[in-house]
Structure 1
Amino acid sequence: MNSAASDRARYDRATAGLDAPLALVDLDAFDANAADLVRRAGGKPIRVASKSVRCRALLERVLARDGFAGIMAFTLAESLWLAESGFDDVLLAYPSVDRAGFARLTSDPKAAAAVSVVVDDPAQLDLIDAARGDGGETVRVCLELDTSLSLLGGRVRVGARRSPHRSPAALADLARAVLRRPGFRVVGVMAYEAHVAGVGDRLPGRPLRQGAVRAMQSAARRELAARRGAAVRAVRELVPDLEFVNGGGTGSVESTVAEDAVTEVAAGSGLYSPRLFDLYSSFRGRPAALFAQPVVRRPGPGVVTVLGGGIPASGPAGRDRLPVPWLPRGLRYDGQEGPGEVQTPLLGRVADALRVGDRVWFRHAKAGELCERFDRLHLVRGDAVVESVPTYRGEGRTFL
């Protein structure tokens, strides 16, 4: 039996007593992916990106391993919930205008000590101050540096549109603005190179595109290493006790940790290894998170229909944002229907071997977004479910 057939047989046996749709995490694959991230990080700590996991039990599991330290959260409400749950190092990596949340943060010593918030505009400080009320706790601030690659004299920009602060001088000016304000303390710098960490460079059948991506990323890594280093030095002149400098993601671990200025790297998607992460040449993850949809119809030869399945990932709309039918191998979408809201026809000769009630296992395009569709993850070891744990959604938490 080949590996794909073996995995399908294991997952079917493990979940035979459960009704589909359902989602699982293969713990052997999850743990192997975690170990590989630690290897790639070369001794620097990995801050876990919670948006890519969205399950407290699995966050606790990975943070119990050597090599992982801290969480990178995506909303203030989530950050406060995690702090209340006992996580003591949470970086809110996206600016917030949650006034009620900031009122809680500034009035709760435990939360204020655990949570750091990204800032890239003095207006964000104004909003926090306006939300303080009687709260007198100092807010831990992380400054964000723009990492995008500028080409042709600034006429072409490659990278995510995040912080407005691109130069070391601009980031130092932001640090001064924070330092002048009572009630705030600069503790970190963040610089996420999305165009390197989040763009695959292995594009079979597209040699020109692949070459262009690799050339862009090579230039981006060189440019950013120099600029990030200079920016961190400029901030450290003002804040000698800076606690951390965060960068990168699953797709850029090796190049990010190679920079002396960087003290930690962020990663999360690599734990589940969704389908978009098949497109990287520097590492190979093991698919760890899958979901099953049951066969409910057999419309004709070479066709089965499964319940649901239409759960695309965020980002530019395209086929690469769709889940991929994974097990059994050999199934594809009907080009006229695609994955549907309540049913999805799948084509292929292997469909004739499927019966009503059988499962088709899918891989989602991105990582943690899968958990917004399922309230539990069934944790599989070998061919048995060893535990079923709630996702954020299963705990009644829908932060975005």
Structure 2
Amino acid sequence: MGLGRRKRVGLLAASLAVVVLGIATAVVAPRLGDDGPSCRSAPASTVALAGDPRAATRALDPGEDLARIGRLKDVLGLRGRVLCAGHTGVQAAGRALVAATADGQRPHSRTMARIAHTAVLALGEAPDSRMPKGLEPYIARMLAAYIADVHRDFSGSRGDEATGRPAVLSEEAAYGNGSGNWATPYPHPGEAHAVFWYEDHNSEWPLKEVVGHLATDPEAFAILYDAERAYLAYYLERLGDNAVEPECRDMETCLLGTRLELGYASRLIAALVTARTDAVETGAIPDLDAFDRSVFQHSNGTYRAAAQHVTSHPPAATIARREAYQGRVDGFLDGWKQLSEIYDRWARTRGIERHHAAPLRFEMRDGYISALRLGW
């Protein structure tokens, strides 16, 4: 798997007077909020963007060179007066961001993925001190729609072709030797993928900073916890009966790819679990039992891979929206238990031969333990 190193592109000064469909200026114009002079409400145009995903995408586009990142920071309340709580403040900003990046009705375009990348870049600067309270579930919903890209970033598997690029198309990420695709194992034609890794930024790793903060909010935690478990089920059910990605043409490389993919399958889960533990120690989560109950209440359940081989490659936003299993769930916040149950059921129902299934399960287990030790 190619490991790409990111070069930071120059963030050029941009004029907020640029008009995007007559919306942009109004989007960033602050006004006094209902909570007093220390906060502001979102302008009406920001509220309107939530109901018009295509307009939201155009309005929040930072541009190829990310020069208009300031517009997104203003909309999200990351500079200037903070956004007020409630539907006219933080919730309006969150809904506009989700509409612009992950409305769920269309495959991700390069612009949508670029906005997602830029949001993580901006939020990663100082998430604990600057992210408006109440924005966390919306950021988590955006990331859930890009869960394959989030998963990839935590695995460290990136192509050199992504250097300095906030987003790439599926076709641009295919390996020339036919051994797969570094952006996603199951590419949807023409869909764009966000590249969250961004070298030389103020934050060592923006996405990790953001996920660490989101893990202190029970609803955001549940959204990401669900999405990553859904991704594992999605990945497994598309493997062939020999446990390799069907499109891969080099069997030795393909087997290695499956081992690496499953070895990294637990890193985001481990990051959430580790951040939750750290938050208890720092006091960010004052009552762990209450937090865990809230996570469980916000979760959709658990996930199972289909019993039959699935060959479709749907848009990435559909992964986290798959139907969850609503039956009895034991050890809900035991990350390894949740992952291993998805894997074991898949291997059993698909009849994966032991000499294939056992080593892959070991890779998953070893990856989870290593990730916990690393604090991922």
Question: TM-score, normalized by length of structure 1?
Answer: 0.26
- The higher-RCO structure (CA 8 Å, 6+ apart) is 1
Question: TM-score, normalized by length of structure 2?
Answer: 0.27
Larger helix fraction of residues:
2
Work out which of the two has the higher radius of gyration on C-alpha atoms and give 1 or 2: 1
